[in-house]
């Protein structure tokens, strides 16, 4: 299984600012994803982080608001830009491991509160 760490684990931010969340995996993985889990709601896929190219965003999510980087097979960042209180959520990094049975592994999440 893949072990995923995220930084920061939580943060409180002022509206209008930006926060970058890091996701580090202990092994090379084929796919990395970023999810959002708003209070009382299910997990919503934000985007697939593609190594060496632009991320693939889901409907309702745009690069200007959620820029994503993935410089290699074990690391990715998600930036939440120009934050508003509506961005308060848990942000989850998830991976599918190379050669695995397409099992998804999840990071511990980053709990973000925007004031």
Compute the distance between CA of residue 7 and CA of residue 76 in angstroms, rounded to an integer: 11
Compute the distance between CA of residue 99 and CA of residue 61 in angstroms, rounded to an integer: 29
Among residues 11, 45, 67, 79, which is the contact residue for other proteins, using CB under 8 A? 45
> Which residues, other chains included, contact 49 with Cβ-Cβ below 8 Å and sequence gap of 6+?
32, 33, 34, 55, 68, 69, 70, 76, 78
Among residues 14, 42, 53, 64, which is the contact residue for other proteins, using CB under 8 A? 42
Per CB under 8 A, the segment of 16-24, 38-46, 66-74, 78-86 that binds other proteins is 38-46
Q: What DSSP state is assigned to residue 99?
A: T
Per CB under 8 A, the segment of 13-21, 66-74, 77-85, 95-103 that binds other proteins is 95-103
* By the rule CB under 8 A, 13 interacts with other proteins: no
* By the rule CB under 8 A, 61 interacts with other proteins: no
Q: What DSSP state is assigned to residue 58?
A: P
**Chain contacts with other proteins (rule: CB under 8 A):** 4, 30-31, 41-43, 45, 48, 92, 96, 102-109
């Amino acid at each position: 299984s893949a072990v995923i760490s995220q930084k920061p684990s939580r943060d409180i931010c002022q509206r209008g600012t930006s926060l970058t969340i890091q996701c580090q995996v202990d092994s090379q993985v084929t796919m990395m994803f970023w999810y959002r889990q708003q209070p009382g709601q299910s997990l919503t896929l934000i985007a697939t982080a593609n190594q060496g190219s632009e991320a693939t965003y889901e409907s309702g999510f745009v690069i200007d608001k959620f820029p994503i980087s993935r410089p290699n097979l074990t690391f990715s960042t998600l930036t939440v830009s120009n934050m508003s209180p509506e961005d308060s959520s848990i942000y989850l990094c998830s991976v599918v491991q190379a050669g695995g049975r397409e099992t998804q592994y999840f990071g511990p999440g980053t709990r973000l509160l925007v004031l």
